[in-house]
Amino acid sequence: MKHLLVTGGSGDLGSVLCERALAAGWTVTTTYLSHPEKVRAGTPVYCNLTDPEAVRRLIEESAPDVIVHSAITELSPNYEMATGIAADLLWRYTPNTARLILLSSDMVFDGKAAPYTEAAPTNPLTPYGRAKAHMEKSAPGLIVRTSLIYDFDVRNKQVSWMIAKLRKGERLRLFTDELRSPIWAVDLANALLTLAEHDVSGILNVSGPQRMSRYALGRGLLVALGYDADAYIDTASQVGSGRPPDLTLDITRAQTLLERPLLSFTQAQAAWEKIAGTHVF
């Protein structure tokens, strides 16, 4: 039985990945920093990933076959530095016998030349994007570059911020002209488990195949969860916001490597509805 170490087991991806890994027969250790109550599966371990001794001890004691780094360092003035430190420490202490997979983002681009291949030059516009771009250049192993990670679950941050506003009686403003390649958390978790068994390195784009606006994604999630979305949403434009307009990713390489096709939003919703909203299918 192989052992998987997941950083960020309380996050949108990490929590689902731990569930999927256990269902697939892995033993799982997962880290948290602030929210142990959000860890859904695996053995939770507190770890500050910017602490060299803590990272060394974590890897030594858990002895993983594969490490998936999905943790997101808290946003702060030192965010970019902290993200780089965490990735560097994981690389430093990962033994040669283990496989390291790090999650990156479409936010490493400026949104002016989509769709982006793995070889496209980066030009991030935000601290988050700069942190991920730095990680891509400095870390070895496999770097999985992805997009908005959604789920049909009120705990998912693509959903939770909208529900919070609706409960306050506030309307939603969603961009119709910010385009991304959103991916279902379950689909991404399954892809990562497949890649954990393959000797693939470098950068790999793994996202949904459907080009969607923030408006289309938000509306789709609300409708799937039973809301009359049109009663709560105002359309808006990202022009003047300083945000990248089009971060669509080219996933041609991933589609040739993975065992199952990556799902569009419509396909993901259909799969989710078959299993009545649970994560395992």
- Contacts of residue 243, defined as CB under 8 A and 6 or more positions apart, other chains included, come to 111, 125, 126, 175, 178
Return the closest-CA partner of residue 83 out of 59, 107, 66. 107
Residue type for position 211? R
pLDDT, one tens digit per residue, over 189-230 is 999 999 999 989 899 999 999 999 999 999 999 999 999 999
Average per-residue pLDDT for the chain: 91
Q: Quote the pTM value.
A: 0.92
Report long-range pairs for 169-172 (Cβ below 8 Å, ≥24 apart): 171/232, 171/233, 171/234, 172/218, 172/232, 172/233, 172/234
Torsion angles phi and psi, residue 24, rounded to 5: -90, 0
Question: Does pLDDT of 49 surpass 60?
Answer: yes
Residue 256's pLDDT band, with cuts at 50, 70 and 90, is very high
Residue 149's pLDDT band, with cuts at 50, 70 and 90, is very high
Question: Does pLDDT of 264 surpass 80?
Answer: yes
Higher pLDDT, 263 or 130: 263
Spell 105-144 as b/e; 16+ CB within 10 A means b.
bbbbbbbeebbbebebebebebbbbbbbbbbbeebebbbb
Confidence (pLDDT) at 279: 42
Q: Identify the structural domains of the chain with CATH numbers, from first to last.
A: 3-150+183-208+248-267 (3.40.50.720)
Query: Residue 240 burial by CB count (10 A; 0-12/13-18/19+): exposed, middle or buried?
Result: exposed
pLDDT, one tens digit per residue, over 79-138 is 677 777 888 889 899 998 899 999 999 999 999 999 999 999 999 998 889 889 988 887
Return the closest-CA partner of residue 32 out of 11, 50, 13. 11
> What is the average pLDDT across 22-39?
91
Residue 72's pLDDT band, with cuts at 50, 70 and 90, is confident
Q: How many residues comprise the chain? A: 281
